[in-house]
Every structure is written in C-alpha cells, then in structure tokens.
Structure 1
C-alpha cells in the first residue's frame, strides 16, 4: 500500500493511544494494588464500604474520566486529574490543617478522591471535640496508627463568619475529653481554649492528665492552654511528668509545675503570666521557668493587668540571672497603658548573647509613647547581636531611631508600626559606608522627615 501522510498520522495516533493506556494501567496498578484494573474500565477503583456506621458517605457521584479514550476526552480532563496520588493526598492533608471539616468535604467530590481520602490516615488526625461524638470516634478510627491533634476550643463561626462562643460546662468538657483520653499515647498536640469564664473548667479538662494518672504523652510535641479568666490558683502537673518530645508551649491563665522532664527541651514558649503572683514573686516564678527551659529559640512574654486576688508575694528583689544561649527571637508584649514592672525587671535578668530579632508589641495600640519608655531602655541593654528590631505603637518614640541605629553594630532593619499609618521600614547598610551616612528606606513605608532627624542623644541611654 502506498505511503500517505494520513495513514502515517493514523499509525502514530494508534501507537500513542496504546502507549498511554499501558502507562496509565501500570500507574494505577501501583497506586491501587488491591484492585484488578483493565484497559476498558471507565471508573477508578472504589472502596466498597458498606458499614452502617460510616459517616460522610457520598451520593449521586458523577462518572470520572480516568480511563476514557484519550483521543475523545483529553480536552475534558481537568489538570488536577493528572496529579499523582501522593501529591493529591498531600494537598488534602494541608487543607485539613486549616479546616476540620475539609476531609469530609473532599471525600464527597468523587469516588477517586474518597478512595484516596479513606487511605490517607494523616488526613483524619485533627480531632476538634464537639457534641458530634460519633463523627470524632470514626475519625480516630480512620486515622489508624497516625498521631492525633486534639483541639477543645469553645469558639465557633456564625453564618456571617463572626466568631461566637459555645456554651460549655464542666460535665460537657469532661465528656469530650473522655473521647480522646484512651488514645493519649498517640497525641501529637493538645490545644485547649476557653474564651469565657465558667467554674471548674480547668479541673474538668485536665483532671485525667495530672500527676498520678496513667496519662503519659510520649509523642506530644505541642501544648497550648489558654484560659484568661481562670480563677483556679492551683498548679497542675501534667502527663505524669513525662512528655520527652514536647517542643512548643503556649500558656495563658494557668499555672503549671515546671518539671525538667516535661519542659527542658522546649524551643518555643509563649508565656502570659497567670496573675496569681505579682511583683518580685512573679519575676521569680518566670526566672525559674526560664532556667528549666534554657534551650529556647523563640520566647514571647506578657504580664497582663493585675488580678484582684493574688497569692502572697516576696518582698526582696530577684537577683538570680538566667542565660538563654540559643534564644534568637524575643517578643515583649504590653497589654495596658504602661510597661509592667515585672517585664522591665525580668529583661534585666536575662542574658541573650545570640538574640537577632526583638519585637516590642503594644496590644492596646496606644497613640503616645509609654510613660516608662525612657526608664525601660535605661535599665535594659539591647543585645549587640540584634539584626532586626520591630517597634509598635506605644513602644515608639521618634528620638529612639537614630541612637538605636548607632548603638547596635549589627542592626540591619528597624520596623515601625504606628496607628493609622502604614508599616515603615528602615534598612541600614553598613557594608559600604558609615552608619550615620547610609540610612536607607524600605519601600513598604517612608519616614516623615520630622521624625527622622538625627538627635544627638547619649548612646548610654540605650546601652547602659
């Protein structure tokens, strides 16, 4: 038969179709080894789950195009259908970290996605405790041997997206905790937050996690306990004193027994003092915490306004110092109109030779500098290792910028955030010129000239 371009094109199409079908068959066989695949099937393998207690069962699913003839359907196949199963499963896991309902949602899309979701244990590891007990027990079962992220947060979203609180009582909280307590050996993180006050909430939530209970958490890495309105002055000793993998802790409103077996390996600590102790006693308590957790890389500190009820305080001043050799980032947070005495005294007792980032946060976003600002920088010596300094609202005084740029030999960036103004960035380049001659501005904001004049202040004001 004579050679024609049309016949050559037909042979190429036949060969391409055969090769594509062979490759897809091999790939799907490797991804779904428990199913027998054929070239002419039009649907991917589906997990035949017929148990009566299954949740989130998809219905009225459309047929997929995984095995459709490539010559007729290649222009209908969405690009997400071409992703490898491992990448698709990883995308699902990332989405589940932001939304607890996401695994249920994606398992309703199609049979192939449901098949992947049910065979990805890490997709179901996030357990947000709520009255839907049956659903969470099924999710724990689907997580198989995977570690679990436990969340007990009494804040939900309304239809308009606004946060709203959910009424809780000690009996409900204790019932929620009983769902996950049998699996405490698998906990990877624990996050408990109570935005509003109710009596005995802490005891209900933590009663089975205290010292003496069979509540060791060998795989726990992240712990967050937030209850600003807590009125329980007792110190809690958690997990029978054993959580060797614990690295991140966030505390607000609760006192814990700070054991080395629990907290000596911390690298991140966000600590808001509970307020049951004040003055020198509060400083002593925090210094004791930092001595145990001396390996911190990031530290955030806050002393909220004082409570009306407090424990007896010591009279003598604290002189014991602590060295945080690995600390690279420090956040000092003020929640009122003035810098607390405890915070100002505490920073004078901390040695941070490796500190590179300092952030001064004003939660109330004041329009004027704190009255004690000059005194604070008089007693606190800014570490010469600083490279980045962020100053917010009440921490800002325009007379500070030039002395800081001159007193800190390694400073590269000073960021200022004030009310009703965009974020302003001052980049300092010391490589080609003297510090006083090369003060460059970042594009995210520009200082007004009247705030940038170099004031000839004594450098000891900052570094004494």
Structure 2
C-alpha cells in the first residue's frame, strides 16, 4: 500500500513538473514571438537574409548555417518554407543530403557528382531523379570522368546556368537534347562539340580543348584557355602547331570578348603573323597571358583594345632578356587610358602596379608581371611612363638592405617593407652618403626583425634623421615588429611613430 501511494505521488509531481516545463517552453516561444526585433520583418525579407547567410557560411560550415533554424519557430518555419535555401547540395554533409533534397522541393539544384564530395549511394537517388527531371538542374559540377551520367542527360534543361568538369570529358552534340537556353557558363576539362545548339547562349568558357572555329564562340564575353590547351580541327583532331594567325582569327570572331585568360601552349609557333594590322577587340578589358617562351610576347603587337583595365603576364623565371617585356609595355602604354596608376608592389618574382579608387586608400591591380626578376625592376618602370610610383611595397624574405630597389626614384613617397613570415625580414640601414627615395615621407614596417635592437635601431634613426627638411620622413608605421615602449620612445625622437 505504501509503495503504491509513493508511486502515485511521484507520478503526480512528475506530471506537474512536466506541465511547468511545457508552460516555460510556451512562455519562451511567446516571448520570442512578441519581443523579437525581427518579428515585424516579412518572411521574404528574412528569407533573403538567410540566403546571404547560407552563401557566406554553408560552404565553410553547414552545421553553423543549420543553427538559424533553431533560433525560434518563426525563423525555422521561414527557412523550411523557402526551397531555394536547401537547393545547393554541393555543400551538404552526406548524412543530411536526403533531408536537404526533400526540403528543396521543386527548386533548381546545385549538384556535384564524383570526386571528394561524392556521397556514393546517398547521391544516386538524386541523379536518378534529375536524369528524368533535368529541369531541376541549375548548376552541375562533374569530377572525374562521369561519361555515363552525362550521356544519360538527354532531355532539355531549361534552368541550367553552369556546367563544370575536371576530368577529360567530351560532351556529345545532343547533350540535354540540344536545349539549355539559360546555359551561360561552361568549365570543361575535355572538349565541346564543334556544333551544339545547347551552347547557343554561351558567354563564359574555360576549357582544355577547343574548336577555335565553333560558331558559339562568337557570343563569349570571357574565355580562359588552360595550360597546354589543344586546338581542334573540324574533324575533332588536335592541331599539331598553333600559329599566331589561327589564334588571332579565332579572337577576331569574338567581338563581345571582355576577359581573356590565355596560357600559350608549348606547341605555339614563333613564326610571325601575316597580318598587316592588329585586330581590334573593342570590349576587351581584362587580359592574362602566360608566355612559355620570350618570343611569344609578340602577340601583343597584334592586339588593340579601346581601354585596358587589367593586364597580367607571366613567363618562366629563368628568362633573362627584358626585351620580351617591351611588346607588353608598348601595348599597355597605347591602350591604358586610366589615371592614378601609382601604387607599385614588388613581391618575390612579381611586379604589380595599382590604381587608387577615388580618394580612399583602396586600390585595384592594373598591371601585373609574374615570374619577374626584381633586379629588372627599374628597367620595366622606365618602359612605363604612365606609371608614377608613389607607394613602393616590397614583400621579401631576404634581408632588406642597400642598395635599395628604385632608390633613385624621386616620386616614391611611401615605402612599405612587409615580411611574409613573422620577423623573417632583417632590416639593415647602412650609413651611406646617398639618400634613397629623396621624396620619401612615410616608412611602413611589418613583421620585420630588429634583433639585436641595440645594433639596428640607431642606424634606422640616423637613416631617418639625416634627411633635409624638404624630404623629411614624417611618419614611421610599425606593425608586429616586437619593439618595446623604450625602443619606440627612442624612435619618437626623430619621427612620429604609429603602432608597436
């Protein structure tokens, strides 16, 4: 009897406790609904915000993105009611793929097939579904050589926007039944057919093998031909030697081209062009060319654009003849019509020149030379009269000491010495009679070594203080240099110091 009574009391109290917990949950839900600062936001606004979070967070941590659905009932219902938030299957961990696919409902999908992200059987049901319903595909990524799946896509894909492959895949002419009206972008490790109606609206192409005479190239605004790409003839065979006239003819048939990224293949002929005048691509603004041999720079003798916004060139580091740079510089001088080209950055084996954006410190790269020998810096700058370097930044791993690069340049007002690794760059300012950078007003040092400080700070003070009043260094900016308050106080005697 006593045992039964005790059990009844225990059940009674447990029921009351559960009732209190239920009431607490209800009160919390009501508080979140009535007091939330987002309660008056329409669902479509919340959904837009969630979409931004998804793009920024989900690709790095899907679990963090899922956290927004646990904040309150309103947020959860809003997220669950928007299929587009669950349509990017490429970022979903394999165990959550079935649920994400179910929540995507009928929204167009971003899919990844094969490679590291392949979830095996967990993706099979999705690809079986889209093979029957290709209208569900928005973006499609292939890894490896998924020829079987590509060949299974024989129906129109009205919402497909982008296709990319990493393997050596040749697409069939009747891919997607020849109908993909929204397909604008293709990144292809293999080749595209010479004639394909599903490529009729293509505007961006990145590929390894290309039919330079294909009609669909005429709509391109962006073309990237990868390292050691192949040109294909009408029969699909590889052209053994690509000459300058073949390439120029192809580019001339791309009148809308705005961006060109071109790695000239090793079988590119050094033979001169038979053209009497350069081709004029009126819309081309962004050019990136990799030159495996010096003579290939002559391609710039045959190009003209209305106004260049960004030009990047690179070549093997062992080249020692700066003559190869002349055609590039001549092209840039003729086609660049901007202003404020004054920021000069020299990294290891690279030279970058930037244009300031408005009156702010923000700047954008305009001219870039990759695999560049720093000893040729002055030669290249002299070839570019449009560049007036006012800020010289160097990112070096070796000791930074005399003779300084561009030491005689009388336009440089700021010198930035930045080490890639913590305190790996050692400053050595010698007591030379000549004063480098006669117009220098600011010195910025980041992650440089002042050890032993007793030997390096006094030379730096003398290097700063011995300048005349008209060229006096007004500001020394230190960042992560490990100096003590005493060291900074010592430097404050000759210059205004900012940082530590």
Q: TM-score, normalised by structure 1?
A: 0.57
Q: Deviations over 1:422-451 (max 9, x none)?
A: 7621559xxxxxx97653237584794389
Does residue 406 of structure 2 align to residue 449 of structure 1? yes
Partner of 2:191: 255
Q: Deviations over 1:225-268 (max 9, x none)?
A: 221xx3x667564101111111111111x223244421121121
Secondary structure at the aligned position of 1:188 is classed as: strand
Shift of 1:295: 1.3
Equivalent runs, 1:46-445 vs 2, <5 Å: 63=29, 65-67=31-33, 84-98=42-56, 99=58, 101=62, 104-128=66-90, 132=94, 135-156=96-117, 177-194=127-144, 201-209=145-153, 213=154, 215-227=155-167, 230=168, 235=172, 237-252=174-189, 254-273=190-209, 285-289=210-214, 291-304=215-228, 313=238, 321=250, 322-333=252-263, 340-341=267-268, 352-360=281-289, 372-377=293-298, 380-394=301-315, 399-400=325-326, 402-408=329-335, 410=337, 420=348, 424-427=352-355, 439-441=387-389, 443=391, 445=393
Structure 2: runs of 5 or more not aligned:
1-22, 231-235, 357-382, 395-403, 411-500
Contact 1:97–1:126 under 8 Å retained in 2: no
Secondary structure at the aligned position of 1:271 is classed as: strand
CA 1:402–1:257: 2 relative to 1, 3 Å = closer
Q: Distance in 2 between matches of 1:344 and 1:126?
A: 48
Secondary structure at the aligned position of 1:217 is classed as: coil
Q: Distance in 2 between matches of 1:423 and 1:153?
A: 39
Q: Distance in 2 between matches of 1:436 and 1:202?
A: 49
> Quick check: which has more Rg, 1 or 2?
2
Shift of 1:345: 9.9
Q: Deviations over 1:186-209 (max 9, x none)?
A: 222212223xxxxxx422331311
Contact 2:343–2:390 under 8 Å retained in 1: no
Q: Distance in 2 between matches of 1:299 and 1:126?
A: 26
Contact 1:294–1:323 under 8 Å retained in 2: yes
CA 1:440–1:269: 2 relative to 1, 3 Å = same
Higher relative contact order (CA 8 A, sep 6+): 1
Shift of 1:288: 2.3
CA 1:177–1:442: 2 relative to 1, 3 Å = farther
CA 1:305–1:450: 2 relative to 1, 3 Å = farther
Secondary structure at the aligned position of 1:294 is classed as: helix
Q: Distance in 1 between matches of 2:111 and 2:329?
A: 48
CA 1:378–1:238: 2 relative to 1, 3 Å = closer
Contact 2:191–2:208 under 8 Å retained in 1: no
Q: Distance in 1 between matches of 2:385 and 2:333?
A: 11
The number of residues matched between the two structures is 332
Q: Deviations over 1:251-304 (max 9, x none)?
A: 11x22324442112112112222xxxxxxxxxxx43123x32311112111243
Secondary structure at the aligned position of 2:89 is classed as: strand
CA 1:132–1:260: 2 relative to 1, 3 Å = same
Q: Distance in 1 between matches of 2:83 and 2:180?
A: 23
